[in-house]
Structure 1
Amino acid sequence: MDNIVRRKLVGFIRPLLTLCLILASLLMLQKLKLPEKDEFGHKHVRENMWCGKDCFSLRQGKTQDDLDAQRVSNRTPPEWDAQVLNCTEDSSLRSQDWFRRLDPRFHQFVLHRHCRYFPMLINHPEKCADGEVHLLMVVKSIIEQHDRREAVRKTWGKEQTVDGKKIKTLFLLGTPSAGKDASNLQKLIEYEDMIYGDILQWDFMDTFFNLTLKEINFLKWFDIFCPNVQFIFKGDDDVFVNTRNLLEFISFEVEERKEADLFVGDTIHKAIPIRNRQSKYYIPKELYDKSYPPYVGGGGFLMSAVLARRLFVVSEELELYPIDDVFLGMCLKKLNVAPQMHPGFKTFGITKRRVSKMNNDPCFYKALIVVHKLIAQDLVNMWSVVHNKELICAQRSTI
């Protein structure tokens, strides 16, 4: 009987000890090899030695005083401070008459309009840290539009230095809309970012009404992490940008000393809210019942970094609006800054007729700054044609 009990105890203890050894091994491997995240969210692999990062630094010739100074300088790095997603609806609005009359499509937007800043899932604070950036290309995109991002990276969004002027690129993303394969899409976007290192992603759903969230979260991010950027081009992932013409225009504005309040694009004046319920841009009277201030089409516009910081400050004083480019127009009005109209920005296409030959004429693209509404392959093809040295245009339009 005693032998049977002992055998049972041994049979129970052996797998328990094995499990403990496996767990101890995993913990050891984790300490030695697994990537860690630093204060910026970057992953780093520990050295396979017990003396850690300080030992490795000393082997490279750094003194202990250098390391102590580095620790002091790294105590308070700039960081994204919206770390917790905690946004409950403003239920007091439900009892108000105007809310009861409001189109139900806008209920969630209004109930959560006070929620402004969201945790970051992917961050790149180092993007603006390596010296002065002349132009930051900022592109609105969604996770599924990988082909568009690839086209931008191969063309106008390519990170480069032109005539000594450094150009950097970032794509702005939220999370997948409801009903999509969110888990797999997130893994794909993380892998894409691991390759290119050019994605900023926040933990809010990528919907049309949330484009304004993308705007204000970027402005906050820019204010924190980009002290040495001079200009920002902001656009969609389906536009053609003639980088050379854009840089020429910036140089002209700097020479004329007009860059401080620079906000330029395809400006819209005296617009009113669209009341057609079938329109993507429909706004009910209960939400807004005035004319819009002058604003620039969101497909592509240019602004100075100085003005971007002022926009961030004033944006916090205004209620969010579900159309992002109109919201920026409201911010500009608050600052008493008029957006500048420029014929080189065609954010509604060269002509509104899709069958027009002008829309496919490379000489127009060579003379303009921004053209909207190109699918990924058309963008790559047009870029190649426009930059072909054998392309001869009879007359170059002024930009």
Structure 2
Amino acid sequence: MAWCCRRWRRVLICLCMPCCCLVFMYIFLAVLITMSMTSVTITQSFNEPTTSHFAAPGASGNDSVAPVPKTFWEQHLPDDAVWNKLQRSTDNHFNSILYPSKAKKVSERISFNDTLLKQTFSNIMSLERVKKNLEKLPREIKRFITNMQKRDYPVLIRPRRVCGAQAKHETQPPLILLAIKSRELNFKNRKAIRETWGQEGWVQGQKINSSDKQLVGGYVRRVFLLGKESSADLGVDITDVLRKENLRFGDILQWDFKDTFFNLTLKDVLFWNWFSSHCGQTHFILKGDDDVFVNTPKLITYLHNQLNKPQVSGTLENFMIGDVILAAQPNRDKRSKYFIPPSFYKGVYPVYAGGGGVVYSGLLARRLLNISQTVHLFPIDDVYVGMCMVLLNSHPLHHPAFLTFDISEKEEDEPCSYHSILLVHKRTPEQLVALWTDMEKTREQCKDAPLRDT
């Protein structure tokens, strides 16, 4: 009987073993297929963005990451959008999912350096398809790209004092530094500014409206920002003339880079660096062109009002005011100096303040310097500042008293029209002097003229 049981057991084992092996093999294959499909899904989730814009750190909704908004440059772009490819390559290093240790609180980190910009520039520019597309770009854009990763230019001329032209015995921290973009041959512009709205030292404020009871004032400093123009282009070497001008007025800051329209962005970045090292206590900066007219007395009063607001320290970290431009598109007209071809940049511009004249805090200038180390240079300076502001999660405030697109003809003839503004663009040196003289004559008559309302 026992012998019979053992015989049947051997038969059952011989019959069942192949079936069990087949079952186990099917289970194993099913697990492999499931894991493979999951891997593909995960890979796609990293490589294929779920939105049409690249999500900058903080957009993921994770409370541990700083609240930085989505970038304005699009993710799905043609291969020939050179700037977008460069910036996207840089942005990817701050993706809060791929690089959590780097991305955490990006906008609040103490310091960056430009190593990452140089690395991504080298990587993207070495691609063959990018090299081919570069040949199709306009000459000025190609020149810009050649040097866009360079930011370390030596200073040729420095202001006589630490932070520009200033009063000899300042008894208070300076309220504002007038940082004016100029060019070597614009002697008349600089002279007119020094004689009118750009005088350094103590400046008395003026009432903004009839409710202002106490007149205030503040110390003003001044510096002109210049690049270098070649003697061949100018037909003369004016280096010695500029040095003598600086010896007399002490307000020239010149770097050794070619002073072109597309290099105005360099002036911003280099100025932020210089300001952060030399102008520790300065509250505000007016950055403008040398063809703007500024109502300095009313600007002094306006800025004092900002300092007197509650929780001012938090406000000043993001303070920028001017003529704000929304949803601007790149200029595609080849005849325009603002021309940006689609092969270089694709997408809309961020919100930005017109570069003719804008006011921002010294605290913000230092933050802009820091975040600019993560943003590739862009040929249009005010747009570039807007790009940096986006990554700081800050937005410029619009004020109708900043007229970067001029004043209407009707208002031009009104006696107190210039007493109601803070800044107007596009004035010749002769017009600056005439406007200032007229404002001095009508100051008493227009003392109650209100500032243009926000």
What TM-score range do you get, normalising by the shorter chain? Answer: 0.7 to 0.9
AA in 2 matched with 1:370:
L
Residues 345 and 363 of structure 1, relative CA distance in 2, 3 Å threshold = same
| Pairing of 1:124-163 with structure 2 (within 5 A) | 124=159, 126-128=161-163, 132-162=173-203, 163=216
Q: Any idea what SS the aligned residue of 2:255 has?
A: strand
Given residue 275 of structure 2, which amino acid in structure 1 is its aligned partner? Answer: F
Aligned residue in 1 for 2:255? 202
1:250 and 2:307 correspond: no
Checking the alignment, whether the CA contact within 8 Å between 1:175 and 1:203 is kept in structure 2 is yes
Equivalent-residue separation in structure 2 for 1:349 and 1:315 (angstroms): 30
Bigger Cα displacement from structure 2, 130-139 vs 151-160? 130-139
CA RMSD of aligned residues (A): 2.2
CA distance in 1, matches of 2:141, 2:442: 51
Structure with the greater relative contact order (CA < 8 A, sep ≥ 6): 1 or 2? 2
**What SS does structure 1 have at the residue aligned with 2:416?**
helix
Cα deviation, residue 391, structure 1: 6.1
Q: Deviations over 1:186-205 (max 9, x none)?
A: 11111111110000000011
Shift of residue 231, structure 1, vs aligned partner: 0.6
Q: Secondary structure at the match of 2:288?
A: strand
Change over 3 Å in CA distance of 1:390–1:324 after alignment to 2 = closer
Question: Which runs of structure 2 are paired with 1:237-276 in the superposition (5 Å)?
Answer: 237-256=290-309, 257=312, 258-276=315-333
2:342 equivalent to 1:285: yes
Answer whether contact 1:366 1:386 (CA < 8 A) is retained: yes
Q: Give the TM-score normalised by the residue count of structure 2.
A: 0.64
Map of 2:400 onto structure 1: 343
Q: Tell me the distance in 2 between the aligned counterparts of 1:93 and 1:200.
A: 38
Q: CA deviation at 1:389?
A: 4.5
Q: Do structure 1's residue 321 and structure 2's residue 383 form an aligned pair? A: no
C-alpha distance after superposition, 1:30-51 (max 9, x if no partner): xxxxxxxxxxxxxxxxxxxxxx
Name the CA distance, whole Å, in 1 between partners of 2:199 and 2:418: 18
Equivalent position to 1:332, from 380, 389, 393? 389
**CA 1:219–1:390: 2 relative to 1, 3 Å:** closer
Partners of 2:219 and 2:330 in 1: how far apart?
39
Where structure 1 has 5 or more consecutive residues not aligned to the other structure, the ranges are: 1-88
Shift in alpha-carbon separation, 1:178–1:267, aligned structure 2, 3 A: farther
Contact 1:133 1:165 in 2 (8 A): yes
- Residue 379, structure 1, aligned to residue 432, structure 2: yes
Distance 1:113 1:350, change over 3 A: same
| Partner secondary structure for residue 441 of structure 2 | coil
Q: Secondary structure at the match of 1:387?
A: helix
Change (3 A) 1:265 1:97: same
**C-alpha deviations, 1:328-369, integer Å up to 9, x for none?**
000000101011000010011113xxxx24335452111100
SS at match of 1:301: strand
Q: Is 1:123 matched up with 2:158?
A: yes
Unmatched runs of 5 consecutive residues or more in structure 2: 1-120, 204-215
Question: How many angstroms apart in 1 are the aligned matches of 2:218 and 2:156?
Answer: 30
- Deviation string 1:241-265 (CA, Å, 9 cap, x unpaired) is 0011111211221222333311000
Contact 2:322 2:358 in 1 (8 A): yes
Which moves more between the two structures, 230-239 or 126-135?
A: 126-135
Deviations 1:28-86 (A, max 9, x none): xxxxxxxxxxxxxxxxxxxxxxxxxxxxxxxxxxxxxxxxxxxxxxxxxxxxxxxxxxx
**Does the 8 Å contact 1:176/1:185 carry over to 2?**
no
Percent identity, aligned pairs only, is: 38
- What is the CA–CA distance in structure 2 between the aligned matches of 1:396 and 1:321, rounded to whole Å? 40
Normalising by structure 1, what TM-score? 0.72
Kept in 2, the 8 Å contact 1:93–1:99? The answer is no
Cα separation, partners in 2 of 1:299 and 1:93, compared to 1, 3 Å = farther
Tell me if structure 1 keeps the 8 A contact 2:161–2:250. Answer: no
Q: SS at 2:254's partner residue?
A: strand
Distance 1:390-1:323 versus aligned 2 partners, 3 A rule: closer
**Structure 2 CA distance for aligned equivalents of residues 164 and 339 of structure 1:** 25
Give the count of matched residue pairs.
307
Partner SS state of residue 436, structure 2 = helix
Whichever of the two has the greater Rg, that structure is 2
Structure 2 contact 324–353 (Cα < 8 Å) conserved: yes
Q: Residues 18-57 of structure 1: matches in 2 within 5 Å?
A: none
